[in-house]
């Protein structure tokens, strides 16, 4: 190799590193998901009231914190039990805040392999997840590439996030967020869709798997959450969110729900601080107008659901819960 070529090669590689660094930093600062998640982190850090309820989960979690008093909705897009565990660990061990009760999302999709293998927004999760431990538990070296992605290459393959970030850049400035909850699903209504069944089927196939309903890693982390709560004296409630009639039908075709929840209850019942599963999945089957899409409530649906949840929790409180 000639000296001139070697110098050029080094220069070219250095230039690649510089551009990569610039793109990585820009993405981390610019990404709409990072902005939202960081906003939520900020609100949680500033939260100084009694924290009775801490809700975790993904976009299905639509608990309105205006309605459920003394609560914080810490759910984030695509979040699974693995990510929830690390976030909760961080909260309980490092934030100095202790919720009375953790509300976990108990939808069928929360337990399946598809959500277990979704590792999005690693540039946000890198500050929470112990990727080495996760790689060991999942017995997968691919997890380490997720760490690399989060650390150095956050923009790679994230064209959708970039597109969204450009579209929502202006909107995000006026975004309303209260204790983690943001009422934003108002621009579409599932009732107006012409082929609801197809939409529901597509969505169910996207997030559910016919082959397996309880992912081994999810099972491990579900138990870890229960153990963590047990060791910190935090009660646990699981909530199955309302779904549209069509989505429930499609879910039933793919996953044996009875078997799944029997297994979940068997695991959870070993932990005295587990309070039970609150099941709302059939709550709005006659109201497609309360849905944004097959599996997400809109603002009105969220409010009605949270009102019911708050009522049920009040009843539980009257029996001395949470302590």
Partner 1 sequence: MLFNSVDYLIFFPVVVALYFAIPSKWRWAFLLIASYYFYMCWKAEYVILILFTTLVDYFAALKMGQATSRKKKKPWLVLSILVNLGMLAGFKYFNFFTESINLLFREINILHPLPLFHIILPVGISFYIFQSLSYTIDVYRGIKQPEKHAGKFALYVCFFPQLVSGPIERPNHLLPQIHQPRSFDQQCLVSGLKLMLWGFFKKLVIADRLGMFVSYVYENPAENKGLPVILATVLFAFQLYCDFSGYTDIARGSARILGYDLMINFNRPLIAKSLRDFWNRWHMSLTTWFRDYVLYSLPYIKEKKIVFGKIYRNLIITFLLMGLWHGAAWTFVIFGLFHGVLLVLETITENQRNRFYELTRINDLPVLKNTLGMLTTFSILVFSLFFFRANSLSDSLLLLSNAVDFSNFRETIGYILKDNEVLFGMLMVVCLLVAEYLHERYDLIRYVSSRPLIIRWSVYIGFIFFVLVFGVLQKQKFIYFQF
Task: Please report whether residue 1 would count as binding partner 1 according to CB under 8 A.
Answer: yes
CA distance 240 to 295: 12
- Indicate the SS3 state at residue 126: coil
Least separation, in Å, of the C-beta of 316 and partner 1?
Answer: 42
Task: Please report whether residue 164 would count as binding partner 1 according to CB under 8 A.
Answer: no
- Looking at 98, 169, 171, 198, which residue binds partner 1 (CB under 8 A)? 198
Give me the 62-81 binding string for partner 1, x by CB under 8 A, dash otherwise: --------------------
Residue 181, C-beta contacts closer than 8 angstroms, at least 6 positions apart? 62, 63, 64, 65, 66, 73
Give me the 11-50 binding string for partner 1, x by CB under 8 A, dash otherwise: -x--xx--xx--x---------------------------
Please check whether residue 145 is in contact with residue 14, taking contact to mean a CB–CB distance below 8 angstroms: no
Task: Please report whether residue 187 would count as binding partner 1 according to CB under 8 A.
Answer: no
Give me the 138-157 binding string for partner 1, x by CB under 8 A, dash otherwise: ---xx--x--x----x-xxx
Please check whether residue 291 is in contact with residue 138, taking contact to mean a CB–CB distance below 8 angstroms: no
- Looking at 201, 203, 240, 245, which residue binds partner 1 (CB under 8 A)? 201
The residue assigned the tokens 């070697």 is 6
Which residue lies nearer to partner 1 by CB, 14 or 282?
Answer: 14
One-character DSSP codes across 3-19: HHHHHHHHHHHHHHHHH
Which residue lies nearer to partner 1 by CB, 2 or 318?
Answer: 2
**If you ran DSSP here, which 8-state letter would residue 153 be given?**
-
Least separation, in Å, of the C-beta of 320 and partner 1?
Answer: 49
Task: Please report whether residue 159 would count as binding partner 1 according to CB under 8 A.
Answer: yes
Helix, strand, coil distribution of the chain in percent, nearest 5: 55, 10, 35
Least separation, in Å, of the C-beta of 16 and partner 1?
Answer: 7
Q: At what angle do helices 131-138 and 216-232 cross, to 10 degrees?
A: 130
Least separation, in Å, of the C-beta of 162 and partner 1?
Answer: 7
**If you ran DSSP here, which 8-state letter would residue 181 be given?**
B
Residues counted in the chain: 323
23: tokens are 């793109």
Q: Binding residues for partner 1, how many (CB under 8 A)?
A: 27
Residues of the shown chain interacting with partner 1 in the complex, contacts defined by CB under 8 A? 1-2, 5, 12, 15-16, 19-20, 23, 141-142, 145, 148, 153, 155-159, 162-163, 194-195, 198, 201-202, 205
């Amino acid at each position: 190799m000639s000296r001139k070529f070697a110098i050029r090669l080094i220069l070219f590689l250095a230039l690649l590193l510089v551009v990569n660094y610039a793109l990585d930093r820009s993405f981390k600062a610019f990404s709409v998901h990072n902005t939202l998640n960081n906003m939520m982190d900020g609100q949680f850090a500033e939260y100084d009231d009694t924290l009775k309820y801490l809700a975790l989960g993904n976009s299905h979690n639509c608990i309105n914190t205006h309605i459920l008093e003394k609560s914080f909705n810490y759910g984030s897009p695509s979040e699974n039990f693995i990510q929830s565990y690390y976030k909760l660990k961080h909260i309980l061990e490092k934030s100095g805040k202790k919720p009375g009760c953790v509300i976990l999302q108990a939808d069928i999709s929360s337990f399946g392999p598809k959500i277990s293998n979704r590792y999005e927004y690693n540039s946000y999760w890198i500050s929470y997840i112990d990727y080495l431990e996760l790689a060991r538990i999942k017995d997968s070296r691919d997890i380490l590439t997720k760490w690399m992605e989060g650390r150095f290459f956050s923009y790679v393959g994230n064209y959708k996030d970039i597109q969204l970030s450009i579209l929502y850049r202006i909107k995000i400035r006026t975004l309303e967020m209260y204790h983690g909850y943001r009422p934003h699903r108002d621009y579409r209504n599932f009732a107006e869709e012409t082929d609801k069944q197809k939409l529901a089927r597509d969505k169910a196939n996207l997030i559910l798997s016919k082959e397996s309903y309880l992912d081994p890693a999810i099972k491990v982390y579900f138990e870890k959450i229960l153990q963590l709560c047990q060791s910190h004296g935090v009660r646990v409630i699981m909530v199955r969110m309302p779904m549209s009639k069509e989505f429930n039908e499609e879910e039933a075709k793919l996953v044996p729900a009875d078997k799944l929840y029997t297994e979940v209850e068997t695991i959870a019942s070993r932990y005295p601080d587990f309070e039970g599963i609150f099941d709302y999945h059939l709550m709005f089957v006659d109201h497609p107008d309360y849905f944004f899409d097959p599996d997400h409530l809109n603002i009105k649906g969220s409010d009605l659901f949270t009102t019911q949840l708050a009522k049920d929790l009040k009843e539980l409180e009257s029996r001395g819960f949470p302590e």
